[in-house]
Amino acid sequence: MKNATITALGGYVPTSVLSNEALTKMVDTSEEWIEKRTGIKERRIAEFDQSTSHLAAGAIKDLLQSYDVHPSEIEGVILATATPDSLLAPTAPTVCQLCELDNAFGFDLNSACSGFLYALTMATSMIESGRYKKIIVVGADKMSSIVDYNDRNTCILFGDGAGAVLLEAIESGNGVLNSILRTDGKGTESLLVPGGGSKYPASAESLISGKHYIKQDGSLVFKKAVAAMGSVSRDALTANDFDSEDIDWVIPHQANIRIIKAVSDSLNIPFEKVKVNIEKYGNTTSATIPLCLWDFKEDFKEGQNLLLTAFGAGFTWGATVLTWGVLRPSKSHNYQGNCVEATI
């Protein structure tokens, strides 16, 4: 059986920056309080006419422009997102069209902040089955489209962005080793956008009452995230006969620096092994883990073991253990710092 291995990465973040200073002029807060409580210094915000499909396409185009892979080789796109362009039709087909992926199927997957891990696990199974050889997994969210910028409990947390990986069938010991995914529907009411779906369809009342904005019980989510990410990570290590010492890098969901540090402590993994970029992007939901992989890809060496873990609305959570492989040969990069000006 061939292993599913990450062989290329791409990322996209909008050019517009929303700083902590700017937020202090919008809600009752301070730069010091935001950074101390969340670890966030700034976040990227998409333009009004940029949708999630544009963000996802930007990340995929960066991947295709940066590595020796042709669009015709891509057989599938799994888009993890909590903010699709619309409820119907799915967003992934639009992304495939924007990227000229004419030979690829495409579908959306919504598991909130855990979405990328869920999509990565699904793509891994499809490749291990032998039916597919190259699938792109992309996490993308325009969180600014569902954030109430009068609510200081949520508006300080979220940003927009997208990250993508090419998962490929490789005959080696590298690749995704195992994933453990969990859900608990009791947490649904603690983190959600109440309106706009079939339960509370969009209406004048839902707009007036703000049901189309994200609502969160921050204290409960914090406690659940620390416990769940720590527990599922230990389960994933045990399933692979690994100890904490066997992990070279941890790539956690970038929700809150205090959550990240607490999970690191619970696993007895030095914080120096934990990759963090929350200060630049905030919580980009489905995009946090792939953006982290993209940002720090130069640090990962063949044969190193990575632990990916996330927690999100639903509640959903999970952990994936993988051994880093060899990336495809690179082409000329299209970077401007940490922002990719991909043509979309």
In order of their start, the domains of the chain are 3-176+327-340 (3.40.47.10), 177-282+293-323 (3.40.47.10)
Tell me the average pLDDT of the chain: 94
Cα separations (Å) of 287 from 36, 129, 144, 196, 247? 23, 26, 14, 22, 22
Buried b (16+ CB within 10 A) or exposed e, 240-255: eebebeebbbbbbbbb
344: pLDDT strictly greater than 80: no
Phi, psi at 75, each rounded to 5°: -100, -20
- Rounded to an integer, the average pLDDT of 233-248 is 96
- Rounded to an integer, the average pLDDT of 241-246 is 96
Instruction: Evaluate whether 82 touches 109 at the Cβ level (below 8 Å).
Output: no
- Rounded to an integer, the average pLDDT of 79-108 is 97
pLDDT confidence bin for 332, thresholds 50/70/90: low
pLDDT confidence bin for 6, thresholds 50/70/90: very high
Tokens at 30, concatenated: 């301070």
Range list of H helices, 169-319: 204-208, 218-239, 257-266, 278-281, 288-295
342: pLDDT strictly greater than 80: no
343: pLDDT strictly greater than 50: no
- pLDDT tens-digit series, residues 127-154: 999 999 999 999 999 999 999 999 999 9
238: pLDDT strictly greater than 70: yes
- Rounded to an integer, the average pLDDT of 194-214 is 91
Residue with tokens 């940029």: 50
- pTM of the entire predicted model: 0.94
* CA–CA separation, 63 and 79 (whole Å): 15
Provide the angle, in degrees to the nearest 10, between the axes of the packed helices 115-128 and 288-295.
Answer: 80
Q: Please report the pLDDT score of residue 149 as a whole number.
A: 96
Q: Please report the pLDDT score of residue 38 as a whole number.
A: 96
Q: Please report the pLDDT score of residue 336 as a whole number.
A: 39
pLDDT confidence bin for 173, thresholds 50/70/90: confident
Q: Please report the pLDDT score of residue 331 as a whole number.
A: 84
Check 3, 20, 54, 253 and give the catalytic one.
Answer: 253
- pLDDT tens-digit series, residues 27-86: 999 999 999 999 999 999 999 999 999 999 999 999 999 999 999 999 999 999 999 999
Check 96, 99, 113, 292 and give the catalytic one.
Answer: 113
Catalytic residue list contains 333: no
- Rounded to an integer, the average pLDDT of 229-256 is 97
- pLDDT tens-digit series, residues 264-282: 999 999 999 999 999 999 9
Cα separations (Å) of 238 from 103, 163, 213, 317, 322? 39, 28, 39, 17, 13
pLDDT confidence bin for 334, thresholds 50/70/90: very low
Phi, psi at 228, each rounded to 5°: -70, -45
Q: Please report the pLDDT score of residue 147 as a whole number.
A: 97
Check 3, 283, 292, 339 and give the catalytic one.
Answer: 283
Q: Please report the pLDDT score of residue 124 as a whole number.
A: 98
